[in-house]
Amino acid sequence: MKSMRGEAQCVSPEALRECLREGDLVVALAGNPNVGKSTVFNQLTGMRQHTGNWPGKTVLSAWGRCAFGGKNYVLVDTPGAYSLSARSAEEEAARDFICFGEADAVVVVCDATCLERNLHLILQIMEVTDRVAVCVNLLDEAGKKHIRVDLEALERELGVPVVGSAARSGKGIDAILQAADRAMRGEGHPRLPRYSAALESAIAPLEEELTRLGLALRPRWLACRLLEGDREWLARIEAFLGDSVEKLPGIAAILEKAPRSISNPREEMVQCLYRRAEEIVHACVFEQGDASRRQARWDKILTSRKTGIPIMLLTLAVVFYITILGANYPSEVLSGMFARLEEGFAGMLASLNAPNWVIGLLAEGMLRVLGWVVSVMLPPMAIFFPLFTLLEDLGYLPRVAFNLDRCFQRCRACGKQCLTMCLGFGCNAAGVVGCRIIDSRRERLIAILTNSLVPCNGRFPMMISLIGVFFVGGGALFGGAVLSAAALTGVILLGIAMTFLASRLLSATLLKGVPSSFTLELPPFRAPRVGHVIVRSVLDRTLFVLGRAVAIAAPAGLIIWTLANASIEGKTLLSYATDFLQPVGRLMGLDGVILMAFILGLPANEIVLPLAVMAYTAGGGLVEMENMGALKNVLVANGWTWLTALNAVLFSLMHWPCSTTLITIYKETRRGYWTLVAFLLPTMLGFLCCLFTATLARIAGLA
């Protein structure tokens, strides 16, 4: 029986060593992405860590504790990696811990449904350390696909302890620590792949020399890296030796004598590992049925040039439809709740004999703006983020990235930007944080600077309202959800097109460079864990983003109320500002009021339309319309036409990011310059787009 308790967040290997207690045994969990490694970690530690390679996930190593068999284990969940060659930040973090984290054992978690792909990493880790155990996870899914893995044969082939598990249901979890304990006791004798005679003759003297130098890592691993010409590992050896750098000429002499017939050692080693993986799978894996062929057929449909993009757009429209339709009632309930709270709060302040301006500032200003942000922002996020996470859990999002990778490559950006762009539909701040998964700094900056060109759910209410009032008829709240979702999808497509345009523009000017390649896995389709997905999306995404928005919206409410109520010579400060912006607004096909509303809506895009209505009705606080008809009457009475509504939607799609996103951009880039570019880029695109439509309408006599 084991007791479980989680004790830590994500830390570096150096910080982890400071947290170790006497008698702790460190077990590193390694493996490819999407093999259930974090599920194994959570089952063993009782934590809820979600580590991976998709947006919002960490590239550091999470750790936790558990006790089993009278021993205390510290388990380290390293990021998913395909190789120890470290072509990405995730692989570098995993490699560094496996090589230098001083783990007592490494448990490599692999996917029973596609074992061959996982064996490359297993064979590499076996070259690093002989204290290795293998956990063949997802045996339940392999059974459904009629795939059988002979674990005993696999253990004989690898020469290390091998166990099977179905971590999601908790089966085989105890055996994982038992296998790790066997590895620590030296029961494993890894059967390393043998290279060609010429390569082995070059490796052998390097092994001897490195053994003589007394380096911590296995000499064979270091010998292979040096023979490949890896300068990083040569620098690491120099760091290991300290003042003994004079011993390195011996290594240089050996490398100089290496056989000239070895033209590309790295390529030969990789090919040898893959051949060995094929041999192992042939001896240990037996497949019946056509599960793999069925998935291949689905992938052919979902990633085809003819059907992949249409299916992606249809999926996007369905997600928007569910979000629009499902968010209406909760928004009304929350709005009513905050209205009653505001009334009670104002009454309490009045009973305390507070001045009217204090009541207005706190109740009509701060609390009312706060209520608008929560009631309008929370329901769509609470629906959109779980739907997004369900698609991720199902395995569909990597296929979306595959479909759009070619477009981003043409823009000289990274295909992973597609995933951060998808996350931006929920919240641009979350999308900016998700850009951490992009390895290249240049491409990461492109993704950060263009993320706000896809609208977050804070901009959806205004877009949906204006589309419903001026273009669909009746609005999404009264039976037009399907048409509104279709029209909104069209607006989204324009945002995606502008993302491509802006990415290409940045690639040709401020951020010149060549697009990098990356490994994109198409994981098997899996039935999503609905309960786990809902909890994870609400806790990790919805509440995190909402908390930031609330922290900014509360003080913004004080400023908005002050501008709407403070006056000079009988004219409010808000009126002075809207009059000043009127010429620019007219040039763009808008007016000064809506431009000022966008400026005051910097803390949260949800309040832009209510601010405009407040200015039109000369009210001292935010106004909520009883229905879409009342909203249209107010807007038309103040000179709005279809062109005004169209440009308002376009400028809502393309304007400066909200304050939460700007703060996040600054934290991610640590440069005020890039934060300014992120502010100006979408704003200029929005200005030019509105100017173009307004000018075109005037020339055609439609305005």
- Convert the pLDDT of each residue in 285-338 to its tens digit: 987 666 667 777 888 888 888 888 889 888 888 887 787 777 777 877 887 888
Q: Is the pLDDT of residue 467 over 90?
A: no
Known binding residue 42? Answer is yes
Annotated binding-site residue? 330: no
**Residue 46 is assigned to a ligand binding site:** yes
Give the span between the Cα atoms of 78 and 60, in whole angstroms.
Answer: 7
Was 379 annotated as part of a binding site?
A: no
Mean pLDDT of 416-426: 81
H-type helices in 509-603, by residue range?
530-537, 543-565, 573-587, 592-600
Q: What is the rounded distance in angstroms from the CA atom of residue 104 to the CA atom of residue 74?
A: 10
Is 353 assigned a ligand-binding role in the annotation?
no
Mean of pLDDT values over 12-32: 79
The reply to whether 540 sits in an annotated binding site is no
Q: Average pLDDT in the 564-581 region?
A: 86
Establish whether 79 is an annotated binding residue: yes
3-state DSSP call for residue 252? helix
Residue 5 confidence (pLDDT):
44
On whether 36 is known to bind a ligand per the annotation, the reply is yes
Instruction: Please state whether the predicted TM-score (pTM) of the whole model is above 0.85.
Output: no
Split at pLDDT 50, 70, 90, the class of 1 is very low
Kindly tell me if the per-residue pLDDT of 244 is higher than 60: no
Contact call for residues 182 and 188 (beta carbons, < 8 A) = yes
Residue 229 has pLDDT above 50, yes or no: yes
Which one, of 133, 55, 30, 629, lies nearest residue 388 by Cα?
Answer: 55
- Residue 415 assigned to a binding site: no
Residue 51 has a pLDDT of 41
- Which has the closest alpha carbon to 41: 69, 8, 12? 8
622 closest CA partner among 357, 334, 366:
366
45 annotated among ligand-binding-site residues: yes
Quick: pLDDT tens for 619-638: 666 555 555 677 788 888 88
Asked if pLDDT for residue 248 goes beyond 70, the answer is no
| Helix or strand run (H / E) with residue 643 | helix 642-653
Q: Which residues pair with 27 in a beta bridge?
A: 75, 105
Is 617 marked as a binding-site residue? Answer: no
Q: What are the DSSP calls for 48-104, one per residue?
A: ----SSSTT--SSEEEEEEEETTEEEEEEEPPP-S-TT--SHHHHHHHHHHHHS--S
Judge whether 138 is annotated as a binding position. Answer: yes
Reported confidence tier of residue 478, pLDDT bands at 50, 70, 90: very low
* Distance, CA of 202 to CA of 171 (rounded, Å): 45
Say what the pLDDT of residue 197 is: 82
pLDDT band at 130 (very low <50, low <70, confident <90, very high): confident
Q: What is the residue-wise DSSP string for 283-325?
A: HHEEE-SSHHHHHHHHHHHHT-TTTHHHHHHHHHHHHHHHHHH
For residue 351, count other CB atoms closer than 10 A to its CB: 8
For 235, list phi and psi in degrees, rounded to 5: -65, -35
Asked whether residue 34 is marked as a ligand-binding residue, the answer is yes
Per DSSP, 35 falls in state: S
Percent share of the chain, pLDDT over 70: 83
Reported as a single tens digit per residue, the pLDDT across 157-186 is 999 999 999 988 889 998 999 999 999 998
More confident residue, 534 or 693: 693
pLDDT digits (tens, 9 = 90+) for 346-398: 889 888 888 888 888 888 778 877 777 777 667 777 787 788 778 877 878 77
Annotated binding residue 137? yes
| CA atoms 73, 79, 82, 86: torsion sign | negative
Instruction: Please answer whether residues 103 and 28 qualify as being in contact, where contact means their C-beta atoms are separated by less than 8 angstroms.
Output: yes
CA-to-CA distance for 479 and 372, rounded, in angstroms? 23
SS (H, E, C) 447-506: HHHHHHHCCCCCCHHHHHHHHHHHHHCCCHHHCCHHHHHHHHHHHHHHHHHHHHHHHHHH
pLDDT given at position 628: 65
- Per-residue confidence band for 57, with pLDDT thresholds at 50, 70 and 90: very low
So what's the pLDDT on residue 119? 93
In sequence order, what are the residues at sequence separation of 6 or more whose Cβ sits closer than 8 angstroms to the Cβ of residue 211? 219
Mean pLDDT across the chain = 81
pLDDT of residue 534: 72
Pick the range with the lowest mean pLDDT from 442-451, 545-554, 654-663.
545-554
Q: Is 77 annotated as a binding residue?
A: yes
Instruction: List the beta bridge partners of residue 71.
Output: 68
Which two structure tokens, joined as six digits, stand for 473?
């008829």
Q: Is 118 annotated as a binding residue?
A: no
565 assigned ligand-binding residue: no
CA 445 from chain centre, in angstroms, equals 15
- Is 570 annotated to bind ligand? no
Find the helix or strand (DSSP H, E) in which 11 lies: strand 10-11
At residue 84, does pLDDT exceed 90? no
Backbone angles phi, psi at 203, to 5 degrees: -70, -40
Angle in degrees, 0-180, between the axes of helices 642-653 and 672-699, rounded to the nearest 10: 160
